[in-house]
Structure 1
Amino acid sequence: MSAASSSAFDKNYSGFLFDMDGTIINSIAAAERVWGDWARSKGLDVAAFMPTMHGKRGVDTIGLLNLPGVDPAAESQLIMEAEIADVEGVVPLPGAVDFLASLPPDRWAIVTSSPYRLAQARLAAAGIPVPRFIVTAEDVKNGKPDPQCYILGAERLGLRPSDCLVFEDVMAGIKAGETAGSDIMVITATHSHPIETGHSTLQNYENVRAHIDGDGLISVVRKAG
């Protein structure tokens, strides 16, 4: 059953799968500085382009533009290096550090469209340790919205996607989680406009905690008060 028809707050899960950017950390300022510079260098309409680059692998974002004479793999590599060098203002979402630290290390993973080195840099800047399990851009042939990443994330936990709750913030990731067969919790902290979704939503992690029951199943519980 999808979270669109059953609230994720009312269910227990064997594992949690977290997108990174916009879901456990806020890296928008840094990402938009680098991508904005790149878009201007290619003569793109920056304001129109920027909403399209969140939540997907850089190589996929560039490839979809079909720019003449532009090699998506080479360009995305240059952008990644620039993003690794610029982590100013990268911070954890409110409550995220404590929420993640309260989870059993073998029961959650990060599933990000970022390359591994960029994920390392941004997590370090936000004060979040690299978890035991992580799926990055290099681990999949097809990036979000393809479900491969979340299927792989569940496999690394030894679980089925349907046993996991996916935490996401953008449509490409939400679609990937849905297609994988997971319930979705939409994190809204970095949204400048409301996202239309039938899934459960959470602004950030300040007013929730993880509860682990006697069978080891995990749930998201609202804090009293």
Structure 2
Amino acid sequence: MRPGRTKYVLFDVDGTLIDALSNQRKVWGTWAELYGLDADEVYQVALRTRPMETFAQVAAERDPRECLTTLHELEDEDVRTGVYAAFDGASELLHGLPLKSWALVTSNYEHRVRGRFLRTGLPVPGLIVDAAAVEEGKPSPVPYLLAAEQLGAEPGDCLVIEDAPSGVQSGLGAGMTVWGVNAAAAVEGVHRHFVSLREAVPHILAFVSGPHGNAAA
């Protein structure tokens, strides 16, 4: 980190700021039932792959576009009616950051992110890089590089907050500092690890406000 330069924070959403694990399991469970598949088996595949890859593995005989349309309808319904909770510390953290110093980088879609933030009372930043904004999603570095470009930031001045291996790989590939949160064990490659987002809050705020940005301390 270079002293005197503006620091930026790029957040993943699901699993990092918003606890959506039960919602994801419910959506995939409903989707599996509609196609006569075992919900637990489908969910285990969905945890490791993107939707189109999941369909190829669990429902290869089905039209993947139809599968995706059904999944999107279920996800949109869940945003409208599901129960969501922000992780402890998320509101304090986001309200404590300068408005133009942070962004969201998600594999989900912007309208769903906005819906979830509205449901949980979290502030929405000026920039959301979603699945529709890039041709290559995580673990490609493209999403995080695009966020930095649109913020006018150098990758070396950016801190990525993630909870999943694919997101960590994406941030590292972009040449950014990556901290992991909300996991008992550190994801391979992270520069710092915090068991909870709450634990990370003061360190993230210090990263942005501190004169030297001691990111790897």
Same fold at TM > 0.5: yes
CA–CA distance in structure 1, aligned partners of residues 8 and 97 of structure 2: 9
Report the structure, 1 or 2, having the larger helix content: 2
Structure 1 position 64, deviation (Å):
6.1
Tell me what 1:139 maps to. Answer: 133
Gaps of 5+ in 1: 2-11, 221-225
Matched, 1:197 2:188: yes
CA–CA distance in structure 2, aligned partners of residues 145 and 125 of structure 1: 28
Structure 1 position 148, deviation (Å):
0.8
Greater relative contact order (CA < 8 Å, ≥ 6 in sequence) = 1
Matched, 1:177 2:171: yes
* Counterpart residue identity of residue 85, structure 1: E
What is the DSSP-based 3-state SS (H/G/I as helix, E as strand, rest coil) of the residue aligned with 1:38? helix
CA–CA distance in structure 2, aligned partners of residues 159 and 16 of structure 1: 10
Structure 1 position 133, deviation (Å):
0.9
Gaps of 5+ in 2: none
CA–CA distance in structure 1, aligned partners of residues 131 and 48 of structure 2: 11
CA contact (8 A) 2:138 2:166 kept: yes
Report the structure, 1 or 2, having the larger strand content: 1
CA contact (8 A) 1:54 1:170 kept: no
What is the DSSP-based 3-state SS (H/G/I as helix, E as strand, rest coil) of the residue aligned with 1:203? coil
Matched, 1:96 2:90: yes
CA–CA distance in structure 2, aligned partners of residues 32 and 23 of structure 1: 16
Instruction: Tell me the percent identity.
Output: 32
* Counterpart residue identity of residue 84, structure 2: V
Tell me what 1:159 maps to. Answer: 153
Structure 1 position 43, deviation (Å):
4.4
CA contact (8 A) 2:165 2:188 kept: no
Structure 1 position 49, deviation (Å):
3.2
Count the aligned residue pairs. 207
What is the DSSP-based 3-state SS (H/G/I as helix, E as strand, rest coil) of the residue aligned with 1:53? helix
Q: 1:162 to 1:58 in 2, by over 3 A?
A: farther
Tell me what 2:46 maps to. Answer: 53
CA–CA distance in structure 2, aligned partners of residues 39 and 160 of structure 1: 42
Tell me what 1:30 maps to. Answer: 23
CA contact (8 A) 1:178 1:184 kept: yes
What is the DSSP-based 3-state SS (H/G/I as helix, E as strand, rest coil) of the residue aligned with 2:93? helix
**TM-score between the two structures when normalised by the length of structure 2:** 0.82
**TM-score between the two structures when normalised by the length of structure 1:** 0.79
CA–CA distance in structure 1, aligned partners of residues 104 and 135 of structure 2: 17
What is the DSSP-based 3-state SS (H/G/I as helix, E as strand, rest coil) of the residue aligned with 2:197? coil
What is the DSSP-based 3-state SS (H/G/I as helix, E as strand, rest coil) of the residue aligned with 1:68? coil
CA–CA distance in structure 1, aligned partners of residues 181 and 38 of structure 2: 28
CA contact (8 A) 1:19 1:168 kept: yes
Q: Alignment partner for residue 60 of structure 2, among 48, 61, 67?
A: 67
CA–CA distance in structure 2, aligned partners of residues 65 and 143 of structure 1: 21
Q: Which moved more, 1:90-99 or 1:74-83?
A: 74-83
CA contact (8 A) 1:95 1:204 kept: no
